[in-house]
Homo-oligomer: A and B are copies of this chain.
Amino acid sequence: MMQHYSLKKVGQMERFHRANFINCLTGFKSPVLIGTVNTKGEENLAIFNNLVHLGADPALIGFINRPREAAPHTLANIEATGVYTINHITASFIHQAHQTSAKYPEGVSEFERTGLTPEKIGDCAAPFVAESPVKFSLVLKEVIPIQFNNTYFVIGAITEIYLNSALVEEDGCLDLQKADIVASMGLTDYYAVNKIAKLPYARP
């Protein structure tokens, strides 16, 4: 039966229960690993589940970085070097990808701690994830502070894309399911997907 959750009722939930509840309201997302490097050459890898498509031409992607005190390294590295990589996650390495969300001190490489493999491609300073079948590099365009909760909306422009051409469908869409790329919801739940429809461009 449909139930009403007022803000008051949500406010009375235990803190982690409420965080899970509100996090799930935005539904399914693709979790990704963002690879960065600091000016000392120390690599960082962190899982994010809040990518958003901003436009195809120019090809722009945004993501939300949590407050600096909670999640300092990715944003600081991107600001310092101007570049980062985004790497999709397959079912075969969700445990390692999830483990990058643990709070390691600065200078500790999540690659080393999780066993994922850093991969340098071309002249991109930031590391890619070798295990990822769909990945791309970006240059930073803008960091927009969100005044309400000290988060940041980070906008980047895609520079290079690496994926298996067998994933590209006739209409340009990607068959991420074929590559076993997962979806996630909230902070803990991972999902496999199964295509149920391709619906054409809608006209009145």
Contacts and interface: CB of A to CB of B under 8 A. Distances in A.
Given A176-B27, A194-B193, A202 B19 contact: no
Interface in A1-60: 1-7, 10-11, 13-14, 16-30, 32, 49-60
Interface residues of A, number: 110
Contacts of A19: 56-57, 172
A171 interface: yes
Q: Which of A98, A157, A181, A204 has the most CB of B within 10 A?
A: A204
Q: Which of A1, A52, A169, A182 has the most CB of B within 10 A?
A: A52
How many monomers of this chain does the complex have?
2
Contacts of A81: none
A165 B9 CA distance: 13
Contacts of A80: none
Contacts of A54: 64, 146, 148-149, 151
B144 A3 contact: no
A71 interface: no
A103 B193 CA distance: 29
A27 B51 CA distance: 8
A23 to B, nearest CB: 6
11 contacts: A5-B160, A7-B160, A10-B161, A18-B56, A19-B57, A25-B59, A25-B61, A27-B51, A53-B64, A103-B204, A183-B183
Interface of A: 1-7, 10-11, 13-14, 16-30, 32, 49-64, 86, 88, 91, 94-95, 98-104, 108, 113, 133-134, 136, 141-142, 144, 146-149, 151, 153, 155, 157-165, 168-169, 171-174, 176-177, 181-183, 185-204
Given A27-B176, A188-B198, A190-B196, 17 more contacts: A5-B162, A6-B161, A10-B161, A19-B56, A19-B57, A22-B56, A22-B57, A23-B56, A26-B51, A26-B52, A29-B30, A54-B149, A55-B151, A98-B199, A98-B202, A102-B202, A183-B193
